[in-house]
Structure 1
Amino acid sequence: MPEPVTHTLAVPGAILTYDVRGDLADREQPVLLMVGCPMGAGGFPTLASHFTDRTVVTYDPRGVERSTRTDGSGELSPNDHAGDLAALIEALDAGPVDLFASSGGAVNSLGLLAQRPDLVNTLVAHEPPLAAVIPDSEAALKACEDISETYQRDGMGPAMAKFIAIVGFEGEIPADYTEQPAPDPAMFGLPAEDDGSRDDALLGQNLRGCTSYQPDFDALGGATGKLVVGIGEESANQLAARGGKAVAERLGLTPAVFPSNHGGFLGDEYGMPGKPAEFAARLREVLAR
């Protein structure tokens, strides 16, 4: 795999950092853009290594890792990120891209597809955690709001413990979910003490905007030929995959099942490897459809 070449791009409110592996002038296949949120480019080296025949681009969303914000702080919306993605693709000047988007990156990319379908060849939206569109949306959104309130009140450890718990919850979120005892941060190796910071990319910037996002289904309905919704075989009954299922059902699509779970494409980037070789093979299949 070619060594990544790092670039920066100034956009309104941020300086984005992105990495290019390969030759952008190679037009035999579309550029393959891999995005997450709040996960940055650091989550994709293993998956990228399985696409040595493609030009692969990864990036850090605004406020994540190397991509700095010039608009101050505060919460962001998927439409903010969709605008950044559009600017990045236009800067690549390589035509419509193939886009593998995971988690919050999938939510942001649905916004991109609705607004700028001309920039997308195929979007594989893997497990978008759209709590607002699942049948139990009221309870799910209440739980996400509770995580945000916990973060502002108690700091990262207690809030992240609640986040981890809901991410792995199987099935519909019960109406009394937030009335149940809160998980102990120590169970997940998290600190209980509050360090006073409130700028975490997940908890402070993206959680509420991402989970409460309402996709433009009218616009997406005109671009279903460009869209594949992915879910993990091991996480199919968890919130993020259920968000993907709800999108697919709304648009009359059949979800594509991928190996492993929500992070099935990961190698050892974060110490929680999925099945990256099998995942990459499945991704090739759906991109070649």
Structure 2
Amino acid sequence: MIQTDMIRTDGASLYCERRGNGPALLMISGGGGDAGYYSQVAEALADDYTVLTYDRRGNSRSTVDDRSAPLRMAEQSADALAVLAHHQLTSALVFGGSGGALIGLDLAARHRDVVEGLIAHEPPVFSLLSAGDRALIDELDEITRREGPWPSYLRFMTTIDRADSPAVVHNRVGRRLLGGAMRVGQRLAAYGPRPLREVSRFMGNAEYLMTREFAPFVAFEPDYDALTVSEIPIVIGVGVESRAYYPGRGGDAVAARLGLPVVEFPGAHAGYTQHPAAFATTLRAVLSQLCQPTPQFGE
């Protein structure tokens, strides 16, 4: 059974889903901001955990009062607190993927009494990556400025889990044509069966991601000092299929910077959507360790 709520917080209304019973697990989504990314994993864990997922402000079924305002990390952490408070919870285990991992790191640094343990799956801290990886961000910024969010979103989505992108996305005309087709497809899918409607909802966040969230995510720098002294058990997750690419390298870099254990998860950057059953099995094992007095992890 899924309990759904709309939660009013400062400047936004958040759509939230609650499943299961047991220790609280808050799952924070990254770019795209939709609770649906975690639906299958949340269902698999609901026998043992109270799983909370939510659409981040401005994404999907959540609203934001000022859609012109850029993402603020402190605001994102405050939203996570609001979700917990609505369910009368003072603390929880936290899982975050990609940008959600960054929010998890910020939440742990700001509110160490709230985070019982954190799994940060492939946090994209670009300041720790190579000049080549950072050059990709400059390219995406330029595409957004010159061509708009949909061509930029297309280019972005083809860089996450591969060493190089198809030739067509390196061409301005190709990006415009395919980006336009994606936008039309997203609108048409909204009138299709449920799986297509869900994809349409996910893709409907593309413009907000590329124009309001992407740059602040990229610029974010964790508070390493606060995380080091927090005593919160933190694990970095890396997809077994993306370790050679910048999302996986980002996870390894954060782990090295903070001296944290790394656990490989099934799939790539979004393994929770690619292999939800296997991903849930690994996540369950990691959560079990986080609940131990002395967690033990091995790759």
TM-score tier by shorter-chain length is: 0.7 to 0.9
SS at structure 2 position matched to 1:73: coil
**Residue 99 (structure 1) aligns with:** 94
Per-residue deviation, 1:99: 1.3
2:43 pairs with 1:49:
yes
Within 5 Å, which residues of 2 pair with 1:30-69?
A: 30-37=23-30, 38-53=32-47, 54-69=49-64
**Residue 232 (structure 1) aligns with:** 239
Figure out how many residues of one structure are paired with residues of the other and give that number.
263
Return the match for 1:191 from 180, 191, 213. 180
1: distance between equivalents of 2:20 and 2:182?
A: 44
2: distance between equivalents of 1:59 and 1:107?
A: 16
CA RMSD of aligned residues (A): 2.6
Provide Cα deviations, 1:77-125, integer angstroms capped at 9, x if missing partner.
Answer: 3332112112222332223111111111111111101000111111111
**Residue 196 (structure 2) aligns with:** none
Within 5 Å, which residues of 2 pair with 1:131-142?
A: 131-134=126-129, 136=130, 138-142=131-135
2: distance between equivalents of 1:118 and 1:70?
A: 29
2: distance between equivalents of 1:132 and 1:182?
A: 27
Provide Cα deviations, 1:219-265, integer angstroms capped at 9, x if missing partner.
Answer: 11123542111000010121122111111001111211111111111
The one-letter code of the counterpart of 2:248 is: A
**Residue 16 (structure 1) aligns with:** 14
Within 5 Å, which residues of 2 pair with 1:60-79?
A: 60-79=55-74
1: distance between equivalents of 2:183 and 2:261?
A: 44
2: distance between equivalents of 1:156 and 1:68?
A: 20
Unaligned residue ranges in structure 2 (runs of 5+): 185-203, 290-299
Provide Cα deviations, 1:54-79, integer angstroms capped at 9, x if missing partner.
Answer: 21111000110111111341321333
**Residue 121 (structure 1) aligns with:** 116
The one-letter code of the counterpart of 2:69 is: G
Distance change >3 Å, CA 224–CA 185, structure 1 → 2: farther
2:150 pairs with 1:157:
yes
The one-letter code of the counterpart of 2:17 is: D
The one-letter code of the counterpart of 1:209 is: P
**Residue 286 (structure 1) aligns with:** 286
- Asked whether the 8 Å contact 1:231–1:258 carries over to 2, the reply is yes
The one-letter code of the counterpart of 1:121 is: E
**Residue 177 (structure 1) aligns with:** none
Distance change >3 Å, CA 248–CA 139, structure 1 → 2: same
Per-residue deviation, 1:192: 6.7
- Asked whether the 8 Å contact 1:97–1:121 carries over to 2, the reply is yes
**Residue 174 (structure 1) aligns with:** none
2:281 pairs with 1:264:
no
The one-letter code of the counterpart of 1:88 is: V
Percent of paired sites with the same residue:
32
SS at structure 1 position matched to 2:119: strand
SS at structure 2 position matched to 1:100: strand
Question: TM-score, with normalisation over the residues of structure 2?
Answer: 0.80
2:139 pairs with 1:146:
yes
**Residue 220 (structure 1) aligns with:** 227
